[in-house]
Amino acid sequence: MTRMIQGQLSAAGERFAIVVSRFNELITERLARGAVDTIVRLGGDREAIDQVQVPGSFEIPLAASRLASSGRYSAVICLGAVIQGATSHHEYINSQVAAGLMSVMQTTGVPVTFGVITCETMDQALDRAGGKVGNKGEEAALAAVEMVRLLQQIDRIG
CA distance 128 to 80: 11
Q: Amino acid identity, residue 37?
A: D
- Which residues make Cβ contacts (< 8 Å) with residue 121, sequence separation at least 6? 83, 84
* Active-site residue, selected from the candidate residues 25, 55, 89, 131: 89
CA distance from start to end of the chain: 16
Is 89 among the residues known to form the active site?
Answer: yes
- Catalytic residue numbers, as ranges: 89
